[in-house]
Structure 1
Amino acid sequence: MAPTLAAEVSRLHEAAWRDPAQWTSALDRAERLLRAHLEAEPDCIDALTSLGAVLSDAGRHSEALTELRRAERLGSADANTYHNLAVAMMNTSERGKARDYFKQAALLQAGAGTLQAYFDPHGH
């Protein structure tokens, strides 16, 4: 994923968290940018990982799992892929598998151009 796209998606993600009035519009815009990129590069692990974070943060955890599992199948070595999978699992019927994915994430480095889904361990 081009650094300029990663930076814009990150800016939108941060704007959503910084200003609740921008929550929906910023996450929607980030999703549109990532999906447009994935139309051109369907196997872009960075875009799939970031899309998973955006979808999870929007409460669309089942959709996030679909995108993140694709990144995993493509061989992602990005900590954010596995962290985001764990977050999505914690919020679906796959909660029991999440611990293993959090452990996997802890063994890896996060990609410079990927997003991490929000997770509050005290909220679960």
Structure 2
Amino acid sequence: MDPTLAAEVSRLHEVAWRDQTQWRLALGRAERLLREHLETEPNCIDALTSLGAVLSDAGRHREALTELRRAEALGSTDANTYYNLAVAMMNTDERGKARGHFKQASLLQAGAGTLQAYFDPHGQ
């Protein structure tokens, strides 16, 4: 993924967390940018991983699972892919499978241009 796009998506993600009044707008814009990129580069693991984080942070965990599973199937070696998968699983009926993905994430490096979904283990 283009570093400029990754930086803008990251900025929007930060805006959403910093200013709750901008939550829906910032996450929506980040989602649109990532989906537009995926129209031209559908197998972009970085975009799929970041889209999974955005969707999960927006509470759309089932949709996040779909995008993150695509990244996994494409052979992702990004820790954020597996971490985000685990977060989405923790918020669906696939909770029992999350532990293995958290473990996988701990063995890998996070990609420089990908987002990590928010997860509070004490909030579950």
Q: Is the TM value for this pair above 0.5?
A: yes
Partner of 2:59: 59
Aligned mates of 1:89, 1:39 — CA distance in 2: 26
Q: Partners of 2:14 and 2:76 in 1: how far apart?
A: 24
Q: CA deviation at 1:118?
A: 0.1
1:33 maps to which residue? 33
Structure 2 length normalisation: TM-score? 1.00
TM-score normalised by length of structure 1: 1.00
Pairwise CA distance, 1:2: 0.2
Q: Deviations over 1:16-61 (max 9, x none)?
A: 0000000000000000000000000000000000000000000000
Q: What secondary structure is seen at the aligned counterpart in 2 of 1:117?
A: coil
> What is the root-mean-square deviation of aligned Cα atoms in Å?
0.2
1:15 aligns to what? 15
Counterparts of 2:107 and 2:37, CA distance in 1: 28
Aligned to 2:104: 104
Percent of pairs with identical residues:
85
Whole-Å Cα distance in 1 between the matches of residues 110 and 22 of structure 2?
Answer: 26
CA distance in 2, matches of 1:66, 1:86: 13
- Report the Cα offset of residue 9 of structure 1: 0.1
1:76 offset after TM fit, Å? 0.1
- Residue of structure 2 equivalent to 1:95: 95
Consecutive unaligned residues of structure 2, counting only runs of 5 or more, are none
- CA distance, structure 1, for counterparts of residue 104 and residue 36 of structure 2: 29
User: What is the identity, as a one-letter code, of the residue corresponding to 1:98?
Assistant: A
What 5-or-longer segments of structure 1 have no aligned partner? none
Instruction: Tell me the matched-pair count.
Output: 124
Q: Secondary structure at the match of 2:110?
A: coil
- Find out whether 1:113 has 2:113 as its counterpart: yes
1:4 corresponds to: 4
Q: CA deviation at 1:74?
A: 0.0
Distance 1:35 1:76 in 2: 18
